[in-house]
Amino acid sequence: MAQDTYTNQLIHEKSPYLLQHAHNPVDWYPWGEKAFEKARRENKPVFLSIGYSTCHWCHVMEEESFRNEAIAQILNEHFVSIKVDREERPDIDQVYLRVLTAMTGAGGWPASLFLTPDRKPFYAGTYFPPEERWGRPGFAGVLQSISKKWASAPQTVTQNSEEIARILVREVEKETAGDKIPGEESLQTAYESFKRQFDARYGGFGETPKFPQAHVLSFLLRYWKRFKAPEALEMVETTLRGMAGGGIFDHLGGGFHRYATDVRWRVPHFEKMLYDQAMLGRAYLEAYQATGTEGYALVAREVLDYVLKDLTSAAGAFYSAEDADSAENLQKPSQKSEGAYYLWTHVEILNHLGKAGGTVFSEFYGIKAQGNLTGDPTGEFSSRNVLYVARPAEDIAREHSQTPEEILKVLAEARQTLSAVRSKRARPLRDEKVLTGWNGLMISSFAFAACVLGEKRYRAAAVNAAEFLLQHLKDEKGLLSHRWCEGEVAVPGFAEDYVFFALGLLDLYEATFEPRYLREALFLSRELIRLFWDEKAGGLFSAGKENEELLLRMKEIYDGALPSANAVAVLLFLEIGHLTMDREFEEKARRILLAFSDAILRFPAGCPQVLSGIDFTLGPSHEITIAAHPGHAVLDDWMREIYRSFLPNKVVALHPAGSAGAEEIENLVPFLKNQSMIENRPTVYVCENNACRTPVTEIGRLKNILNTEG
């Protein structure tokens, strides 16, 4: 039967993930009271399925089970089925992923949970095949077993669910107890842990699947700088080179795929997430600052240019993701496979590039007649190739009696040709949700890139996205919403939205010196405290006063794919406290570290983002002021010099001499009042831990000061 024969309750939603299931024969409901009221009225358990639009195994389970009429009949007869987009409702995902991990020892998506009508869990799993396979129980059998248990012993199931809920509540409540603020010992413990996990040959940490972990790299750069530890820098560089040369990087279109399924970074899971581009773009820029290696700046540009080209809306906001799967054939759009947009056969390469160019290209990018994707249990990638840097251009040049420059020119022309060919393929689905928090991360990276690389178009990208969020996702009361999609704004903002966007605005102030962005960052920081602060134990709840009350009220310090809101808040509060001289913010940063001290001390490697905040608290930290007429020609030169070196624990402000905006910025940043131009010349003040050096009016002297600080 045709897929569109059926229509369920999801047809009224905006989420691309929910709409992917709107024509399943399963009678899906979105999360909400309507579904739970139906479960209570009909005395049925709830099947809760959580995923996201670019999740490969979510697609597999949808195709195998949720389109299966026999399985749909079981679900419709014995359950109330609820579908949740984890990106649209990270609060629900966070709570029930915690449940899933506690009940099974592992998490992941699709998350499949069974709840009582009062939302308490009693059974959980991830992907279920339709029938028993690979040691996994079949979904139809699981449904029948749970249905029978509910019918025969509902009271027992309910009692078990209540006990599970009580245990989880107790575990969450005891997680933020501590009486010692972590210091250097936590940095050193984490470093030793990463050192043990480090893959010295290919880079990265731990076994497969291998994730980029940008916040680990940023921490290691700070560790290298603080302790003069060359091994820390070596870990960062080996990892960055491995990823940039691997199949996890899109060598034709730019940007990074989500993770690699092998140790060499060669075989990716092909989805692309906005937050990965934001965090990895910044990590490569920081490595460029630390080492001066132009290759890192080049990779950062390719990541950011990918976002501008493929993940930016006409209005300037950033879209969420691109799918791993796409159609093999434009005439058969429903027949999709993973990586179809990105993979090549050897014959295709030769046909499009000719024998000479195709041979050089194949040698450089590891293209083989039999395919180069090893470890493919399903055979989906048979005879296909992903691009990765297999050999140095110098070696190929030597064998072909050419110069490396000639080989690089051949490769550049080949990439251009193949990009044009690839553009005619069916593109992966683009998830066009605009998420406030993820946009905040991307705004930070573009603003930072504008300062480091001196690129005005990156500054413009950050400004455009920030203006979109301020116009569409901040209401007249100043409250943020979490999601915009096709003109609809929905879901009250979470802590991650406030903290990521506030930090993005703070970075944007430093890239533009527009006081408005600092004022907005300050406002959102205060709202963050008002809405999310735990007055009893300290720290920020993930969901606040405007959000729906769920089974658990979560607070997180450990990082996942995204850094935790509490960890980023430490950095936000420290930076904005240094700028505004408002000690409440620095006290809140200290309270977060104290509240989570037990968790940090127990497993510091689990929270690398907060370690960067601890590094800031340990100092030295710097306040840098440029006193100059706005738009002065030398201003860009000063900024390039300030951002040339890796000096992470700093804030930068402009005292706009003789400008109408001087009073506004002086009110926001009080210490600027006494930092003026000397002899009517642009002047830079560098202060360390609230003690200022002699101001300088010559860029050479600034360079000497910053080199000393570095």
How confident is the model at residue 378, as a pLDDT?
59
Handedness of CA 563, 569, 573, 579 (dihedral sign): positive
How confident is the model at residue 509, as a pLDDT?
97
How confident is the model at residue 144, as a pLDDT?
96
- Banded pLDDT at 379 (limits 50, 70, 90): low
- Banded pLDDT at 294 (limits 50, 70, 90): very high
How confident is the model at residue 313, as a pLDDT?
98
pLDDT, mean of residues 472-476? 97
Contacts of 71 (CB under 8 A, 6+ apart): 26, 65, 130, 139, 140, 143
Contacts of 300 (CB under 8 A, 6+ apart): 281, 282, 284, 285, 288, 449, 453
Q: Is the pLDDT of residue 177 over 60?
A: yes
How confident is the model at residue 710, as a pLDDT?
58
Q: Is the pLDDT of residue 709 over 90?
A: no
The three-state (H, E, C) secondary structure of 619-687, written as one string: CCCEEEEEEECCCCCCHHHHHHHHCCCCCCCEEEEEEECCCCCHHHHHHHCHHHHHCCCECCECEEEEE
- Only one residue has tokens 């963050």, namely 528
- Banded pLDDT at 220 (limits 50, 70, 90): very high
How confident is the model at residue 1, as a pLDDT?
45
Most confident of 355-369, 652-666, 667-681: 355-369
Which residue blocks in 261-344 are alpha helix, DSSP H? 274-291, 294-310
What does 87-137 look like in DSSP terms, one character per residue?
TT-HHHHHHHHHHHHHHHS---SSEEEEE-TTS-EEEEES---SS-BTTBP
How confident is the model at residue 693, as a pLDDT?
86
- Tell me if residue 610 falls in helix, strand or coil: helix
* Nearest residue to 643 (alpha-carbon basis) of 286, 300, 381: 286
Reported as a single tens digit per residue, the pLDDT across 501-511 is 999 999 999 99
pLDDT, mean of residues 291-315? 98
Peptide bond into 110 cis (omega under 30): yes
* Nearest residue to 496 (alpha-carbon basis) of 570, 577, 563: 563
What's the CA gap between 66 and 58, in Å, rounded?
10
Supply 189's token pair.
């413990």
How confident is the model at residue 381, as a pLDDT?
82
Contact between residue 475 and residue 1 where contact means Cβ atoms under 8 Å apart: no
- Banded pLDDT at 176 (limits 50, 70, 90): low
Reported as a single tens digit per residue, the pLDDT across 69-79 is 999 999 999 99
pTM of the complete model: 0.95
pLDDT, mean of residues 139-147? 96
Strands 111-115 and 80-85: unpaired
pLDDT, mean of residues 26-41? 97
